[in-house]
Amino acid sequence: MPALSTGASYEPGLYEVLVALPIQLQSHVSCPEDNTFLQHVFGEKSLHLLVKIHERLQHYEESKPVPILDNAAALAHELSEELEGKSASREIEELLILLTEPQIKSILVAHDTIAQKNYEPELPPLPKDIEDDEDSVKIIRLVKNKEPLGATIQHDEHTGAILVARIMKGGAADRSGLIHVGDELKEVNGIPVDDKKPEEIIHMLAQSQGAITFKVVPSVKEETPTQEPRVFVKALFDYDPKEDKAIPCKEAGLAFKKGSILQIMSQDDATWWQAKLEGDANPRAGLIPSKHFQERRFALRPPLATLPIQRTSRRRSSGFRKSFRLSRKEKKTNKSMYECKKSNKYDMADVPTYEEVTPYRRQSGAKHRLVVLVGPTGVGLNELKRKLLISDPQHFSVSIPHTSRAKRNQESDGVEYHFIPRHLFEMDIHNNKFIEYGEYKGNYYGTSLDSVRSVLSKNKVCLLDVQPHTIKHLRTAEFKPFIVFVKPPTLERLRETRKNAKIISGKDEKGFAKPFTEEEFQEMVRTAQMMETQFGHLFEKVIINDDLSAAFTELESALKKVETETHWVPVSWIHS
Ligand SMILES: Nc1ncnc2c1ncn2[C@@H]1O[C@H](COP(=O)(O)OP(=O)(O)OP(=O)(O)O)[C@@H](O)[C@H]1O
């Protein structure tokens, strides 16, 4: 409209256009009423003020002003207090009046709010007495990146509602603080979910990226904020949520391996706990089966093949060996060990679920942890022990076994064996003084608890090899055993590495150790597998005895770490 132009080189502001408009329009309007109406509209004072504000804002937008300070209101207040009662100059009086004006005060407060970028509205507290039938709906907007939302939902069988079942600690939903357990989900991104199955909703959520809008009816239950729990457990089984049909939401599950240390974040739900892997920087917890639930599932599982309890070895006199490991040989003649009287099946305490643990570091000068070696016959336990003893005889030692057989000429009491009469041996059996014992050719042989204590009290590391089912009796605060499982390599590697090896517990007719047979190799591998299945949760270190010197180095370094570094041990060993 050229008539609006006020000059060739001058770019009028919107306000000037507005002021000029009624006069400019006059020549275009024929009807006097229309003219009066337009004069009235464009002459309206509030419109002029609005346009002026708009122009001023535009000006500031271009110059991008930044506040110099964000506490102008407080500063003005301090200044008025300072000036109060000062010699009354006219200017001071005027300034005082200005600073106490409610409008000025409000402007300064508004200025500070903007300067502090404090834009969140402060909502009034929710009324306490909400009517039961009055559904107050909450609209929640969350920005979701690639990480899952960290909440699970369920279908309420009675009401048909879709409810938030749990919020994963540290997850996106938890961090937002906006969604709570028990909230009823009404809509996701404007799509009603009343008629949808939980799986469909989970799928919808998984597909969504960026901002997601939820409409929920908040649960009235108040949640009390809790401190981050410091309960740690060692997992005694492998867990993969993808393989678990019972888990309410596979994506929310936490996978772990036997031996993983888990920080338990919530045990509120009797069936599904929330946990994080210890040391994991990701703050979001995942679902894991609760101890109780896992025990129940375990009880319902078909029984696995278990190892037969092994009996006394034939090789009592074999040179270096001092501890008392019972061999699978000699099935007929020997009396059972005391463990044999117990059920071979799992009782509840044996069900491998979780064990509460705490960090432990041996103080220098404190007694050493008992080193327990376990493995199938012939795998090389003696060989590894022998190497350790030779490497540092002042540091490592073995316990001296007891026997009821007569002392031979070249033997000394307390060196090869503690020689005790048969009736005393039986009394000690009765009094549970033996870790393991057995009978061979009419004589008892056994390892006593006191013989182990004697080594430990000399501040030496006691090396002990036992049958795996004995471990649970040694797992006490007194011994704090470090359990090492020595495992055979593959059959192929056994054949290669043991070409010149002799199985000492399998002597020939003339009493000489024999080479391994193929059957013995197979038995070794099979037994190792069963040991791992049945007792694997008790092993803290697994060493494959393939190349002997490599296995020895690995064992040596593991034992060094036990002495110097922090390890997770059962809480009961530390706080009993
Ligand atoms: N990694 C290895 N490579 C080659 N030979 C090995 C290896 N480990 C052990 N041996 C040999 O295997 C034989 C059996 O080892 P060892 O006596 O130490 O086994 P063990 O587990 O104590 O058996 P047992 O149950 O009979 O007491 C020995 O001749 C030993 O030298």
Site to probe by mutation for ligand 1, drawn from 316, 463, 498 as the one with most ligand atoms within 8 Å of Cβ, is 498
Is residue 380 lining ligand 1, measured as CB closer than 6 Å? Answer: yes
pLDDT tens-digit map of 58-67:
888 777 778 8
Average pLDDT over residues 306-320: 44
Report whether pLDDT(574) > 70. yes
- 144: number of CA atoms within 13 Å, CB side? 24
Compute, in angstroms, the gap from residue 410 CA to the centroid of ligand 1: 26
Out of 138-142, 290-294, 520-524, pick the least confident. 138-142
pLDDT band at 100 (very low <50, low <70, confident <90, very high): confident
Report whether pLDDT(323) > 50. no
Report whether pLDDT(405) > 90. yes
Give the pLDDT of residue 228.
60
Is residue 505 lining ligand 1, measured as CB closer than 6 Å? Answer: yes
Distance of alpha carbon 340 from alpha carbon 288, whole angstroms: 35
Average pLDDT over residues 260-281: 91
| Placement of tokens 């034939």 in the chain | 314
Report whether pLDDT(141) > 90. no
Atom of ligand 1 nearest to the CA of 502: 29
CB atoms within 10 A of CB 260: 18
Report the chain's mean pLDDT, rounded to a whole number.
83
| Placement of tokens 């009624």 in the chain | 22
Give the pLDDT of residue 238.
94
Q: Are 231 and 268 in contact (CB under 8 A)?
A: no
pLDDT band at 222 (very low <50, low <70, confident <90, very high): low
Name the closest-CA residue to atom 23, ligand 1. 378
Is residue 323 lining ligand 1, measured as CB closer than 6 Å? Answer: no
Report whether pLDDT(324) > 80. no
Give the pLDDT of residue 552.
98
Is residue 382 lining ligand 1, measured as CB closer than 6 Å? Answer: yes
Report whether pLDDT(26) > 90. no
Site to probe by mutation for ligand 1, drawn from 373, 382, 436, 467 as the one with most ligand atoms within 8 Å of Cβ, is 382
Give the pLDDT of residue 177.
82
Give the pLDDT of residue 66.
81
Give the pLDDT of residue 30.
82
Query: Which residue type does 146 have?
Result: K
Average pLDDT over residues 510-518: 81
Report whether pLDDT(124) > 60. no
3-state secondary structure of 448: strand
Name the closest-CA residue to atom 9, ligand 1. 380
Compute, in angstroms, the gap from residue 419 CA to the centroid of ligand 1: 28
Is residue 381 lining ligand 1, measured as CB closer than 6 Å? Answer: yes
Give the pLDDT of residue 33.
85
Q: Specify which of 94-98, 109-113, 423-427 reaches the highest per-range mean pLDDT.
A: 423-427
Is residue 497 lining ligand 1, measured as CB closer than 6 Å? Answer: yes
Site to probe by mutation for ligand 1, drawn from 447, 504, 524 as the one with most ligand atoms within 8 Å of Cβ, is 504
Distance of alpha carbon 256 from alpha carbon 278, whole angstroms: 11
DSSP 3-state percent helix, strand, coil across the chain (nearest 5): 35, 20, 45
Out of 439-443, 470-474, 504-508, pick the least confident. 504-508
Instruction: Between 29 and 448, name the one with better pLDDT.
Output: 448
Compute, in angstroms, the gap from residue 95 CA to the centroid of ligand 1: 98
Is residue 389 lining ligand 1, measured as CB closer than 6 Å? Answer: no
Instruction: Between 533 and 123, name the one with better pLDDT.
Output: 533
Q: Is the complex ipTM higher than 0.95? A: yes
Give the pLDDT of residue 368.
96
Give the pLDDT of residue 121.
60
Give the pLDDT of residue 138.
84
Compute, in angstroms, the gap from residue 384 CA to the centroid of ligand 1: 8
Compute, in angstroms, the gap from residue 383 CA to the centroid of ligand 1: 6
Report whether pLDDT(571) > 70. yes
Average pLDDT over residues 391-401: 96
Give the pLDDT of residue 523.
95
Give the pLDDT of residue 505.
63
pLDDT band at 223 (very low <50, low <70, confident <90, very high): low
Nearest to 34 by CA among 26, 43, 23, 44: 26
What is the token pair recorded at 366? Answer: 């404190």
Report whether pLDDT(508) > 70. no
Out of 86-90, 101-105, 247-251, 318-322, pick the least confident. 318-322
Atom of ligand 1 nearest to the CA of 547: 1
Give the pLDDT of residue 349.
53
Report whether pLDDT(242) > 90. yes
What is the token pair recorded at 512? Answer: 């000489």
Q: What 8-state DSSP symbol labels residue 340?
A: G
Give the pLDDT of residue 509.
62
In angstroms and rounded to an integer, the radius of gyration of the C-alpha atoms of the chain is 41
pLDDT band at 414 (very low <50, low <70, confident <90, very high): very high
Show contacts of 10-18: CB within 8 Å, 24+ apart: 13/55, 14/51, 14/54, 14/55, 15/48, 15/51, 15/52, 15/55, 18/42, 18/47, 18/48, 18/51
With the C-alpha atoms ordered 305, 306, 307, 309, is the resulting torsion angle positive or negative? negative
| Placement of tokens 């006394």 in the chain | 312
Give the pLDDT of residue 316.
36
Report whether pLDDT(3) > 60. no
| Placement of tokens 């799928």 in the chain | 203
Compute, in angstroms, the gap from residue 527 CA to the centroid of ligand 1: 15
Q: Are 524 and 376 in contact (CB under 8 A)?
A: yes
Distance of alpha carbon 573 from alpha carbon 568, whole angstroms: 11
| Placement of tokens 């022990």 in the chain | 385
Enumerate domains of the chain plus CATH numbers.
2-63 (no CATH), 72-115 (no CATH), 138-217 (2.30.42.10), 231-300 (2.30.30.40), 363-574 (3.40.50.300)
Is residue 169 lining ligand 1, measured as CB closer than 6 Å? Answer: no
What is the token pair recorded at 457? Answer: 């009290």
Name the closest-CA residue to atom 8, ligand 1. 380
Compute, in angstroms, the gap from residue 64 CA to the centroid of ligand 1: 81
Compute, in angstroms, the gap from residue 439 CA to the centroid of ligand 1: 23
Cβ density class 68-105: b for 16+ within 10 Å, e for less: eeeebbeebeeebeeeeeeeeeeeeeeebeebeeeeeb
Distance of alpha carbon 247 from alpha carbon 287, whole angstroms: 8
pLDDT tens-digit map of 327-371:
434 333 233 333 333 334 444 456 789 999 999 999 888 999 999
What is the token pair recorded at 478? Answer: 């007194």
Out of 44-48, 161-165, 218-222, 395-399, pick the least confident. 218-222
Compute, in angstroms, the gap from residue 548 CA to the centroid of ligand 1: 9
What pTM, to 2 d.p., does this model score? 0.64
Q: Specify which of 125-129, 149-153, 483-487, 533-537 reaches the highest per-range mean pLDDT.
A: 483-487
Is residue 253 lining ligand 1, measured as CB closer than 6 Å? Answer: no
Site to probe by mutation for ligand 1, drawn from 313, 383, 385 as the one with most ligand atoms within 8 Å of Cβ, is 383
pLDDT tens-digit map of 43-60:
889 999 999 998 888 888
What is the token pair recorded at 212? Answer: 């997601």
Instruction: Between 42 and 143, name the one with better pLDDT.
Output: 42
Q: Specify which of 80-94, 160-174, 558-572 reaches the highest per-range mean pLDDT.
A: 558-572
Is residue 112 lining ligand 1, measured as CB closer than 6 Å? Answer: no
Average pLDDT over residues 551-568: 96
Query: Which residue type does 435 have?
Result: I
Is residue 504 lining ligand 1, measured as CB closer than 6 Å? Answer: yes
Q: Are 453 and 542 in contact (CB under 8 A)?
A: no
Give the pLDDT of residue 506.
58
> How, if at all, do strands 162-167 and 191-192 pair?
unpaired
